Amino acid sequence: MKRKRISLFDVLTHMLGAVLLAMVLYPLILIVSCSVSDPQLVATGQVLLFPKGITFDGYRQILKNKDILIGYGNTIFYTVVGTLINLAVTVPAGYALTKRTLPGGKIFMAFFMFIMYFSGGLIPSFLVVKGLGLYNTRWVLLILGAYNTYNCIICRTFFDAMPKELEEAAVIDGCSVTGTFFQVVLPLSKALMGVMVLYFAVGHWNAYFDALIYIKDDGMQPLQVFLRRILILAQQQANMEEAAEYAQSLANLEALIRYAVIVVSSLPLLIVYPFLQKYFDQGVMIGSVKG
Amino acid sequence: MKKKEKRAGRQAFGLKLSTRIWRHREYYLFLLPAVVYVAIFCYAPMYGLQIAFKDYKVSLGVSGSPWVGMRNFTDFFRGYYFRNLIRNTLVLSLYSLIVGFPVPIFVALILNELKPKFKKVTQTVLYAPHFISTVVIIGMITIFFSPSMGVVNTLLNGLGMDSIYFMGNPKYFRHLYVWSGVWQGMGWGAIIYLAALAGVDPGLHEAAAIDGASRMKRIFHINIPCIMPTIIIMLILQVGRIASVGYEKVYLMQNELNMEVAEVISTYVYKRGLINNNYSFSTAVGLFNNVVNVILVLIANQISKKCSDTSLF
């Protein structure tokens, strides 16, 4: 065995790693600290790392805020149902495209690839959605993006790498293609499904622009739209006023809610992704880049 | 195994087309939802692109509205905002590319040298910002850089400097946009390079170590050359996107004070189209942007094909 020696190189790289770590962690810790600190101390810039004057009023305030609760409920609904629709549309398409003997397979591939480079754009898409009577309905946020070429190619690459013998054996045993897909292929694709669920769910959870364009009623808005109002629009207005007046207006619970709402809205994804990390680290993306 | 597949393929081709299609009916069923979705939500809007050459009236519909030739385009090219929009869009994306492209490569090279446990933790933490929504990221910037209570200004005050209203000053808009993007994307962007680094033959490193190459030297002479194909593919993809700056993030960062540098083509399309109801004009601007993007992807692909053997298509 080699003697354990710490080289200068190791020290340097680990220091750089620590710097990166601190750069990412500091803002996140600060937000959490501010969310449980006395708003007066936060507003006067005294909370710089650790919480001071601990209070959970911000979180209590959230529970009383109707908008946030409605938004949260809507977002959960859009994320769960939307992701299921995404999976149902995109994953089977990726599987079908692995079939090299499929007549017209190349045409389908071109049909799907073309939209990665060219689109009708914002207004024509808006007119189509409106024409279908989907404007200002929950369906818009569930259906838009149901199919995604990028993710479809990830699926295809993954299914392509699976041993063909398994499917062949199932077919010989009298299993239909659909049966093979659901009973043989999918149970072996947990890694893929994990990554797909994560990608699609993150997309739904964090999206705001489609809602801004297509949803008019507040009762149907997702959380991100309310977040935009609380975090950005309100602050912009506040910044326009005199600084002193502004500091005072923020030195109340309304200000505290900003930090708490950031924590509450971001936490679900931040808790889930480390569990799926081993899957997206495995290089599921390699194949996708080459098309 | 390849031979077997080939034989199966030849056998299949011997059959009549209709028989072959019937045999694959279940696969077509698998494709059906995706095809229907793409036809309706991706290709139907392309048919609607014709309103870029028309004077669209809601009452007349897409096909019924009168043609006006290139008027919407010439209006845009001669318009007051044209040069400003092009400049803002290009500067923002070039700045993002120049800073944002090398950083994930650098992060991956560093992560690759860390001790396994520390590497794992650092990696996980660096991915976190990718999962935070754009709205929250801009909200965080707004808070941290706010003139009265933000950490940044508290720090500046501590150093004896005056507070700066970062979000309202056009001078800082681009820096905030680009560097927050780096903060959010450096870990996630590194995944692809980490995967490429994991594929580097350990034999190369062993041989180089025996020949006395330092670890620094091995990074430059083994790791970087080995991930070069990946770097080039990623670069083509990014260069192809130079003319397209998405509206999601820019729109959130805009306010009355920074508009001269913060208005880009996509946000302009949104505002002229859906807020001012200037459908035809806005579609023309979007189409122009889209065509430029396609041309850029083709050029980038062609150059890469010539200079190295890597290309998208």
Q: Measured between CB atoms, which of B41, B110, B132 is closest to A128?
A: B41
As given in the structure block, the two tokens for residue A90 are 């995109």
- Amino acid (one-letter) located at B242: I
Taking every pair of Cα atoms in chain B, the longest distance, rounded to a whole number of angstroms, is: 83
Provide ipTM, 2 decimals. 0.89
Contact status of B147 with chain A (Cβ, < 8 Å): yes
CB-based contacts of B42, cutoff 8 Å, min separation 6: A115, A119, A120
Concatenated DSSP letters of A116-129: HH----HHHHHHHH
pLDDT band, very low/low/confident/very high, at A286 (cuts 50, 70, 90):
very low
pLDDT at residue A290, rounded to an integer: 44
Lowest average pLDDT, out of A40-44, A89-93, A264-268, goes to A40-44
Which of A268, A23, A4 lies closest to B122, judged by CA?
A23
CATH class, range A57-290: mainly alpha
Contact B35 A108 (CB under 8 A): yes
Contact status of B217 with chain A (Cβ, < 8 Å): no
As given in the structure block, the two tokens for residue A258 are 């900003």
Cross-strand pairs, B270: none
Which B-chain residues 67-96 have CB contacts (< 8 A) with chain A? none
pLDDT at residue B78, rounded to an integer: 93
As given in the structure block, the two tokens for residue A136 are 């200002």
Which of A24, A195, A221 lies closest to B185, judged by CA?
A24
CA pair distance B190, B106, nearest whole angstrom = 8
CB-based contacts of A186, cutoff 8 Å, min separation 6: A193
CA pair distance B35, B69, nearest whole angstrom = 32
SS3 content of chain A, % helix, strand, coil (to 5): 75, 0, 25
CA pair distance B237, B255, nearest whole angstrom = 31
Does A291 score more than 70 pLDDT?
Answer: no
Neighboring chain B residues of A250 at a CB cutoff of 8 Å: 148-149
Which of A110, A273, A165 lies closest to B8, judged by CA?
A165
Contact status of B184 with chain A (Cβ, < 8 Å): no
Contact B42 A120 (CB under 8 A): yes
Q: Measured between CB atoms, which of B27, B136, B287 is closest to A99?
A: B27
Distance from CA of B229 to the nearest CA of A (A): 11
**Dihedral over Cα of A207, A208, A213, A214: its sign:** positive
CA pair distance B130, A204, nearest whole angstrom = 14
Does A65 score more than 60 pLDDT?
Answer: yes
Which of A280, A51, A218, A87 lies closest to B131, judged by CA?
A280
pLDDT band, very low/low/confident/very high, at A204 (cuts 50, 70, 90):
very high
Whether A61 and B165 have beta carbons less than 8 Å apart is answered as no
CA pair distance B214, B186, nearest whole angstrom = 27
pLDDT at residue B99, rounded to an integer: 95
| Whole-number CA gyration radius for chain B | 26
Contact status of B8 with chain A (Cβ, < 8 Å): yes
CA pair distance A239, A233, nearest whole angstrom = 10
Contact status of B43 with chain A (Cβ, < 8 Å): yes
In this structure, what DSSP letter does residue A251 have? Answer: S
Contact A45 B154 (CB under 8 A): yes
CA pair distance B104, B261, nearest whole angstrom = 27
Question: Roughly what angle, to the nearest 10 degrees, separates helices A190-206 and A149-160?
Answer: 170
* Residue that the structure tokens 């620094």 belong to: B216
pLDDT at residue A3, rounded to an integer: 54
What is the per-residue pLDDT across A23-63, written as a single tens digit (0 to 9) for each? 999 999 999 999 998 888 887 778 888 888 888 888 988 88
pLDDT at residue B238, rounded to an integer: 86
Taking every pair of Cα atoms in chain A, the longest distance, rounded to a whole number of angstroms, is: 78
| Whole-number CA gyration radius for chain A | 25
As given in the structure block, the two tokens for residue B251 are 């729109």
Using CA atoms of A165, A168, A173, A178 in order, give the dihedral in degrees to the nearest 10: 120
Assign A134 to helix, strand or coil. Answer: coil
Neighboring chain A residues of B147 at a CB cutoff of 8 Å: 239, 243, 246
Closest chain A residue by Cα to residue B24: A102
A interface mutation test: which of B130, B148, B155, B176 has the most A CBs within 10 A?
Answer: B148
What is the per-residue pLDDT across A139-187, written as a single tens digit (0 to 9) for each? 999 999 999 998 998 899 889 888 888 888 888 888 888 999 999 999 9
CB-based contacts of B284, cutoff 8 Å, min separation 6: B52, B53, B72, B73, B75, B76
Assign B113 to helix, strand or coil. Answer: coil
Q: Measured between CB atoms, which of B135, B183, B283 is closest to A227?
A: B135
What is the per-residue pLDDT across A236-261, written as a single tens digit (0 to 9) for each? 666 655 554 545 554 455 677 889 99
Neighboring chain A residues of B15 at a CB cutoff of 8 Å: none
Parse chain A into domains and list their residue ranges.
57-290
As given in the structure block, the two tokens for residue A115 are 């939209």
Neighboring chain B residues of A82 at a CB cutoff of 8 Å: none
pLDDT at residue A41, rounded to an integer: 82
CB-based contacts of B173, cutoff 8 Å, min separation 6: B253, B258, B261, B262
Whether A179 and A186 have beta carbons less than 8 Å apart is answered as no
Contact B237 A14 (CB under 8 A): no
pLDDT at residue A289, rounded to an integer: 46
B interface mutation test: which of A123, A154, A250, A275 has the most B CBs within 10 A?
Answer: A123
pLDDT at residue B108, rounded to an integer: 96
CA pair distance B29, B46, nearest whole angstrom = 25
A–B: how many Cβ contacts below 8 A? 293
CA pair distance B217, B212, nearest whole angstrom = 10
Contact B138 A232 (CB under 8 A): yes
- Amino acid (one-letter) located at B302: Q
Which A-chain residues 74-113 have CB contacts (< 8 A) with chain B? 88-90, 92-93, 95-97, 99-104, 108, 111-112
As given in the structure block, the two tokens for residue B56 are 């669209």
Q: In the predicted model, what is the mean pLDDT of chain A?
A: 87
Mean pLDDT in consecutive groups of 10 residues from the start of chain B, 313 residues: 53 75 91 97 95 92 90 92 93 94 96 93 95 95 85 88 88 95 94 89 91 90 91 84 87 91 93 92 94 90 77 69
Which A-chain residues 45-74 have CB contacts (< 8 A) with chain B? 45, 48
**CA A190 → CA A4, A55, A158, B66, B127, distances in Å?**
40, 42, 11, 54, 21
pLDDT band, very low/low/confident/very high, at A74 (cuts 50, 70, 90):
very high
For chain B, which domains are there? 1-35 (no CATH), 71-307 (1.10.3720.10)
Give the best-scoring range by mean pLDDT among A71-80, A99-108, A168-177, A222-231.
Answer: A71-80
Contact status of A179 with chain B (Cβ, < 8 Å): no
Cross-strand pairs, B67: B54
Contact A120 B48 (CB under 8 A): yes
A interface mutation test: which of B4, B41, B277, B281 has the most A CBs within 10 A?
Answer: B41
Q: Measured between CB atoms, which of B1, B191, B283 is closest to A121?
A: B283
B164: left (phi over 0), alpha (psi -120 to 50) or beta: beta
Does A1 score more than 50 pLDDT?
Answer: no
Distance from CA of B169 to the nearest CA of A (A): 12
Q: Phi, psi at residue A176, to the nearest 5°?
A: -75, 170
Contact status of B123 with chain A (Cβ, < 8 Å): yes
CA pair distance B308, B311, nearest whole angstrom = 8
Contact B198 A283 (CB under 8 A): yes
Contact status of B275 with chain A (Cβ, < 8 Å): no
Beta-carbon count within 10 A of A136 CB: 14
Closest chain B residue by Cα to residue A7: B215
Contact status of B150 with chain A (Cβ, < 8 Å): yes
